[in-house]
């Protein structure tokens, strides 16, 4: 079974090999190993990129394979981040509060402890009461469950409603975008209880690991991201390769025909929509402890569109395409906007890439859509074809 899977999916095998090699190299070069050829801030960037690759392959499955252009998967990513962020904030603050209350004359009551934690967390937004939404934040297990369940349930309910009413194509895209907008506005409100525009911060300080340096913690999170990406890749490769995958692709190509063949189209779509939302949530839960802060701006509709851009540039309908797209575009973005790219002097005008990168990205994207619908991944096809043509 195992062998037949990799035999069917040679790309998965290659991908896992490449990912392992990459992880090992990065580990050796990291500050934690002593060589310190990769700075911790760059290590964090690499780890975050792996998480972005994971959400990109989820996007690829739902869009490239199933034909649902969801403009909401980055919202699921953000929800995963919020879910884990709540525990990180609560647990970190609880430690500080309990230590500071230790020397109090009277041993603190549970209420006093909760109030003190609330004061620390919500003091910055002018409140000290715990909102209902934080009811489970003391428990890592429950919040980890929330990482999976909240995006999953949200996708399930939303998908069920939408697919049931046969909302398809661009209408569905607009609807998912509206959902994302509603979510980001919801998170943005102070009354929601998630600290409004400030969001959750200081997430890089993992409770219980204070003794470890950020170099070590970042490396561990990098490993976790690599493992998650590997597992996600195998999971999706398995889903899209079997009979299930054939049905899903058929739905993309002609939904009505598949329905006439007796397949329960809505069920398949719902399954894909939900499972990818869950994986997006997991990716988010790994991403934000590395980013250190999550706030509503992260899940604005534009972020989800960028996700689609990565997948389109990388190449739809192939998992490695999504990985390439996410990695290349997000790293290029930070290179260009970080001032790494040299300015181009046209004589009458100096092109400063910090300002012009988005213009380049936008136009590249238009060009890719128009002329290379297969994206960067399409180049591999060309190579293979040439190899095949060669005598």
Partner 1 sequence: MTIRNTLFSSFSALAFAASGTAAFAECADPIKVGVLHSLSGTMAISETTLKDTMLMLIAQQNAAGGVLGCQIEAVVVDPASDWPLFAEKARELLTVHETDVIFGNWTSVSRKSVLPVIEELNGLLFYPVQYEGEESSRNVFYTGAAPNQQAIPAVDYFLEELGVEKFALLGTDYVYPRTTNNILEQYLTDNGIAADDIFVNYTPFGHSDWATIVADVMALGEDGKQVGVISTINGDANIGFYKELAAAGISADDIPVVAFSVGEEELSGLDTTNLVGHLAAWNYFMSADSGANTAFIESWQAFAGEDRVTNDPMEAHYIGFNMWVAAVEAAGTTDVDAVREAMYGQEFPNLTGGTAVMLPNHHLAKPVLIGEITADGQFDIISQTTEVPGDAWTDFLPDSAVLVSDWKDLGCGMYNTETETCVQLTSNY
Partner 2 sequence: MRHVFLALIMLFGATLAASAQTLQPIIQSHVEEIASPSRNSVGVALDDLVASGLPQVTDFLEQWVEKNVWQSGDGTFFIAAETDNVLTLTDIDTGEQRTAPAEGFTQLKPNGGVRRVIGTALVQFQLSDPDLTRRETAVASIARRPEAAQMAPLLASIDGETDAALKTRKIQLANLLSARFAQTPTDRIAAIDSLATDTSVEVRAVLNQILSTSSGVALSEPDSNTAAIIDPFLEPDVSYATLVEAGLAPARQTAAEIKGALEANIVDGRIGGLPLVQMDNPDARVAAYGALAADGKVPELITESARDAALSSHLFFELYDEPNPDITQAAENALASVETRVAAAQTVDLTLDALSLASIFFLAAIGLAITFGVMGVINMAHGEFIMMGAYTGYVVQLFIPNYTVSILVALPLAFAVTFAAGVVMERLVIRRLYHRPLETLLATFGISIALQQIAKNVFGTQARPLTSPDWLAGAWIVNDVIQISFIRIAIFVMALIFLALIIYILKRTRLGLEVRAVTQNPGMASSMGINPNRINMMTFGLGSGIAGIAGVAIGLYAKVTSEMGSDYIVQSFMTVVVGGVGNVWGTLAGAAMIGFGQKGIEWLNPSNTLAAQTYMILFVILFIQFRPKGIVALKGRAAGD
Residues that bind partner 2 (CB under 8 A): 69, 105-111, 158, 161-162, 164-167, 169-171, 173-175, 177-179, 181-182, 185-186, 188-189, 191, 301-302, 305, 308-309, 312, 355-356, 358-359, 361-366, 369-370, 373
Q: Quote the Cα angle for 158-164-165, to 5°.
A: 95
Among 267, 339, 362, 373, binds partner 1 (CB under 8 A): 339
Minimal distance, residue 165 CB to partner 2, in Å: 5
Q: Is 105 exposed, middle or buried (0-12, 13-18, 19+ CB in 10 A)?
A: exposed
Name the one range near partner 1 by CB under 8 A: 61-69, 131-139, 219-227, 290-298: 290-298
User: Quick one: which of 316, 314, 329 has its CA closest to 361?
Assistant: 329
Name the one range near partner 1 by CB under 8 A: 226-234, 260-268, 308-316, 329-337: 329-337
- DSSP-derived 3-state class of residue 30: strand
How far is the C-alpha of 236 from the C-alpha of 234, rounded, in Å? 6
Other CB atoms within 10 Å distance of the CB of residue 246? 11
Axis crossing angle, helix 301-314 with helix 169-188, rounded to the nearest 10: 130
Return the residue matching tokens 């890749």: 233
361 binds partner 1 (CB under 8 A): no
Minimal distance, residue 146 CB to partner 2, in Å: 21
- Tell me how far CA of residue 290 lies from CA of 74, 311, 385, in angstroms: 17, 23, 40
Name the one range near partner 1 by CB under 8 A: 51-59, 135-143, 162-170, 337-345: 337-345
Identity of the residue, 42 or 160, whose beta carbon is nearer to partner 2 in the bound complex: 160
Among 167, 239, 297, 360, binds partner 1 (CB under 8 A): 297
How far is the C-alpha of 115 from the C-alpha of 123, rounded, in Å? 11
Minimal distance, residue 114 CB to partner 2, in Å: 12
How far is the C-alpha of 68 from the C-alpha of 238, rounded, in Å? 19
205 binds partner 1 (CB under 8 A): yes
Q: Is 161 exposed, middle or buried (0-12, 13-18, 19+ CB in 10 A)?
A: exposed
Identity of the residue, 128 or 364, whose beta carbon is nearer to partner 1 in the bound complex: 128
137 binds partner 1 (CB under 8 A): no
Residues that bind partner 1 (CB under 8 A): 36-42, 44-45, 96, 100, 103-105, 119-121, 123-128, 185, 188-190, 195-199, 201-202, 204-205, 214, 291-295, 297-298, 334-335, 337-340, 354-355
């Amino acid at each position: 079974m195992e062998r037949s899977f990799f035999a069917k999916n040679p790309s998965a095998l290659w991908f896992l090999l490449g990912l392992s090699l990459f992880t090992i190299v990065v580990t050796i070069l990291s500050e934690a190993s002593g060589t310190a050829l990769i700075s911790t801030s760059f290590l964090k960037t690499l780890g975050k990129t792996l998480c972005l690759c994971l959400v990109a392959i989820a996007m690829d499955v739902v869009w490239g394979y199933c034909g649902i252009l969801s403009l909401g998967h980055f919202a699921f990513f953000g929800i995963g981040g919020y879910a884990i962020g709540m525990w990180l904030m609560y647990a970190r603050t609880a430690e500080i509060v309990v230590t500071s209350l230790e020397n109090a004359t009277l041993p603190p009551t549970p209420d006093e402890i909760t109030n003190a934690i609330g004061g620390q967390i919500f003091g910055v937004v002018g409140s000290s009461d715990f909102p209902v939404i934080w009811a489970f934040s003391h428990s890592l297990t429950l919040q980890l469950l929330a990482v999976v369940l909240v995006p999953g349930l949200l996708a399930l309910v939303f998908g069920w409603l939408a697919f049931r009413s046969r909302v398809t194509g661009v209408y569905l895209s607009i609807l998912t975008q509206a959902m994302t907008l509603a979510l980001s506005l919801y998170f943005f409100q102070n009354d929601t209880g998630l600290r409004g525009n400030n969001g959750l911060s200081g997430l890089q300080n993992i409770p219980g690991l204070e003794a470890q340096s950020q170099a070590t913690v970042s490396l561990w999170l990098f490993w976790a991201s690599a493992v998650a990406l590997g597992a996600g890749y195998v999971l999706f490769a398995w889903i899209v390769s079997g009979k299930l995958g054939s049905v899903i692709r058929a739905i993309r190509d002609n939904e009505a025909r598949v329905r006439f063949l007796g397949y329960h189209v809505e069920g398949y779509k719902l399954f894909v929509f939900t499972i990818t939302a869950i994986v997006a949530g997991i990716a988010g839960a790994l991403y934000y402890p590395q980013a250190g802060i999550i706030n509503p701006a992260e899940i604005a509709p534009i972020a989800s569109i960028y996700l689609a851009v990565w997948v389109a540039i990388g190449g739809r309908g192939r998992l490695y395409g999504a990985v390439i797209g996410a990695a290349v575009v997000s790293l290029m973005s930070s290179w260009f906007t970080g001032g790494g790219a040299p300015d181009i002097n046209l004589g009458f005008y100096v092109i400063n890439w910090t300002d012009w990168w988005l213009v380049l990205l936008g136009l590249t994207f238009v060009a890719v859509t128009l002329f290379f619908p297969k994206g960067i991944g399409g180049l591999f096809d060309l190579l293979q074809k040439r190899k095949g043509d060669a005598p």
